[in-house]
Structure 1
Amino acid sequence: MAFLELSGVRKDFELVRVVRDFNLDVERGEFISFLGPSGCGKTTTLRMVAGFETPTAGEIRIAGRDVVGLKPNQRNIGMVFQSYALFPNMTVAQNVAFGLKVAGKPRAEIDARVAQMLGIIKLPQLADRYPFQLSGGQQQRVALARALAVQPQVLLLDEPLSALDAKIRVSLREEIRAIQKALGITTIYVTHDQEEALSMSDRIVVMHEGRVDQIGTPFEIYNTPATSFVASFVGTLNRIEGIIADPSAGTVRVGARDVAVASPLGARRAGEQVSLALRPEAVTLAPRPGQDVAIEARIVEVAFLGSVIRVRADIGGATITLDTFNSPASPPPRIGDAVTLHLSSSDWVVLAD
């Protein structure tokens, strides 16, 4: 039995259905990210787990106990918000101790737990400072320590890094993941940032228009997207429309070329339109072992991005984007150059929808 279970969860606000038939089993100690654009229902789902919203239908169980009828403070859940939500009139130590005091813990236990949490977030020297004396990253560390101090069964984080600058976000997400692993706490993390979800998660739940489009590991979500939305939302993508040439041979006409795809075409018929997904890093200008597809193309655009050079090539009515590493010893192709693109038939993903 899973540690956290959401079964048939639905949420309606008057006539608007914002979460549709949400089903998820989370194992103890697992780090799950809800990933999707604004308005997809991910924060509403998180708030239902926390107890701030009541499901219109469905069940939510933590350690086998149905928590739908329980108040937030009865669920033993820690919550970290985007806005930090620290008490401005309390010091760092007092903020971390707040939940323990409310729970009526002895002073000695509170002091020991606060010292432990400040050590975990690497801010013991700032115990007597107030929130206004801290940077944004430091405030979010304190908010995390306060949520963890009460030893919750489940930790919920609602876009906790979105207000921080890019460099601090990278550093803090690594710290959050390290702390989560060290404590072994079951965690749900809401984000619209695909890089955060891919780098931090054991599994990702991709949401779109209130429904779950795909649940899988970062590797699965990135490399084998189940729908066109997942394919386009996660990572840079070539999405190319093609026509099935020969379903038995696994060939699809893309532009003026027939290309081989390893994905099964199932019951599709010749002449049927199909959407193909192809990651830019799968395509190379020089052949590599295992590549069995070669496509003649002409360079139409070259963009220098520092360590990566992004190239767009026309294959006769369709355009493929590829990424190649910058090397001073190997200058990039020029616009108008005739080239051969190399890839593997297994790199094409036939989108289900």
Structure 2
Amino acid sequence: MAFLTLTNIQKSFGAVKVVHDFDMSIDKGEFVSFLGPSGCGKTTILRMVAGFETPSGGTITIDGKDQSRLKPNQRNIGMVFQAYALFPNMNVFDNVAFGLKVAGKPKDEIQARVTEMLKLIHLEHLADRYPYQMSGGQQQRVALARALAPKPQVLLLDEPLSALDAKIRVSLREEIRHIQRQLGITTIFVTHDQEEALSISDRVVVMNAGRADQIGTPFEIYNRPATRFVASFVGTLNLIEAKVVDAQKSTVAIGDQMIVLREKIDLAAGSAVQLAMRPEAGSILPGATGNTTLTGQVVSSHFLGSVIRTRMDVAGNTVSFDMFNDPNMAPPAIGDNVSLKIDSADLIILQA
């Protein structure tokens, strides 16, 4: 049975509807990321779960209890914000202890719990420091410990890494995931960074204009996008224009090249169709496997260190493909005619 359930959630600000009929069930201990561009409704849903916003319709339940009309302090929820939100006049120990003191916990219990939390985030040696004496990454770890100290049922993370530099973001997101697994706490993580969402989540919700375009595992979201928006927003994607030749045989034409797709086609012959393919799906190396070949002329080749990204023209479509750097083999040159071997299963028909 689901631990956190959002049923037909709606939210309007005046005449503007920002969340439309959102439904989702989250299991106990699951880590779910809400991914999408600014203004898509992901933070609004998080704020409704926290109690900072009241749904215009629908219900939110945690462990079978309706939360929809409870105030934030009546919900057993921990929240970490983008801007740390630490108390500048309190040291690390007192910041982490704050929620426990408000709850009226005994001194001995507060001491033990704060010590446990500081060990968890590996900052027990900085208990006496103030926020201004710490780096951004350290402050965000303190904010995480403060949110976890009262033992919340649900942990909410609102873009907690976006103010940090790239290397700190990577290490801290891994630490957050490790702590979440260690505690087994149900977690919702809001981000606009696809790499963050894909790397640490059990499931990802891709939000678009107040709706969930797709909910699935990172593997499903990346490899089998359900809509054109998901396909274009998550990862790098080739978009290839084609025409249906024979719907029954799933045959399409890309210029004068015929391709037999794995997917069933529900369009009449002559209809235009857009195909999607990831850059890593094909290879031009000797011995490359695949039941389909795309032939074209190289228009650019970029050396990116471990990876070489090459673009070729296929009947007016620019198709990118990636290959690992091999010191013993020169990358394709502009003007070369190359044949890209792919599996037809990697060509996805994009729906509206």
Give the conservation status (yes or no) of the 8 Å contact 1:205–1:212: yes
Distance 1:208 1:214 in 2: 9
Written as runs of structure 1 = structure 2, the 5 A alignment for 1:172-321 is: 172-265=172-265, 267-286=266-285, 290-321=289-320
The reply on whether 1:350 has 2:343 as its aligned counterpart is: no
Corresponding letter in the other structure for 1:171: S
The C-alpha deviation readout for 1:165-198, integer Å capped at 9, x for no partner, is 0000000000000000000000000000000000
Q: Name 2:46's counterpart in structure 1.
A: 46
Q: Distance in 2 between matches of 1:34 and 1:223?
A: 18
Trace 1:36-185 onto structure 2 (pairs within 5 A): 36-185=36-185
The 8 Å contact of residues 288 and 341 in structure 2, kept in 1 or not, is answered as: no
Residue 331 (structure 1) aligns with: 330
In structure 2, distance between residues paired with 1:217 and 1:163:
26
- Residues 77 and 156 in structure 1, CA contact (< 8 A), matched pair in contact too: yes
Deviations 1:87-112 (A, max 9, x none): 00000000000000000000000000
Shift of 1:83: 0.2
Runs of 4+ with >4 A deviation: 287-290
CA contact (8 A) 1:12 1:19 kept: yes
Q: In structure 1, what residue type is equivalent to 2:112?
A: A
Structure 2: distance between partners of 1:296 and 1:40: 39
288 and 227 in structure 1: CA distance in 2 versus 1, 3 angstrom threshold: farther
Aligned partner letter, 1:42: K
Residue 308 of structure 1 aligns to which amino acid in structure 2? V
Distance 1:207 1:132 in 2: 35
Partner SS for 1:197: helix
* Aligned residue type for 2:89: N
Q: Are the counterparts in 2 of residues 294 and 343 from structure 1 also a CA contact under 8 Å?
A: yes
**Cα shift at 1:290:** 4.8
Name the amino acid aligned to 1:144: L
Give the SS at the match of 1:146: helix
- 1:201 maps to a residue whose letter is S
Local SS of the residue matching 2:161: coil
**1:92/1:142 contact within 8 Å kept:** yes
1:241 deviates by 1.9
Deviations 1:49-75 (A, max 9, x none): 000000000010000111011000111
Q: Deviations over 1:275-323 (max 9, x none)?
A: 2110000011125565101122111111111111110011222221001
Unpaired stretches in structure 1, ≥5 consecutive residues: none
Aligned residues: 352
Taking structure 2 as the reference length, what is the TM-score of the superposition?
0.98
8 Å CA contact 1:256, 1:315 repeated in 2: no
Post-superposition Cα deviations, 1:254-288, rounded to whole Å, max 9, x if no partner, equal 233221211221x3211111121100000111255
Indicate the residue corresponding to 2:25 in structure 1. 25
Alpha-carbon distance in 2 for matches of 1:144, 1:273: 50
Q: Which residue number in structure 2 is paired with residue 341 of structure 1?
A: 340
- One-letter amino acid of the structure 1 residue matched with residue 332 of structure 2: P
Deviation at 1:249, TM superposition (A): 1.6
SS across alignment from 2:110 = helix
- 8 Å Cα contact 2:289/2:341 also seen in 1: no
SS at 2:212 equivalent = strand
Q: CA offset at residue 347 of structure 1?
A: 0.5
Alpha carbons 1:35, 1:42 under 8 Å: kept: yes
Cα distance between partner residues in 1 of 2:5 and 2:327: 53
When normalised by structure 1's length, the TM-score is: 0.98
| CA distance in 1: counterparts of 2:25 and 2:143, whole angstroms | 27
Query: What amino acid is aligned across from residue 303 of structure 2 in structure 1?
Result: F
Distance in 2 (CA, whole Å) between partners of 1:52 and 1:320 is 46
Question: CA RMSD for the aligned pairs?
Answer: 0.9
Distance between the aligned counterparts of 2:255 and 2:179, measured in 1?
50
Q: Secondary structure in 2 aligned to 1:162?
A: coil
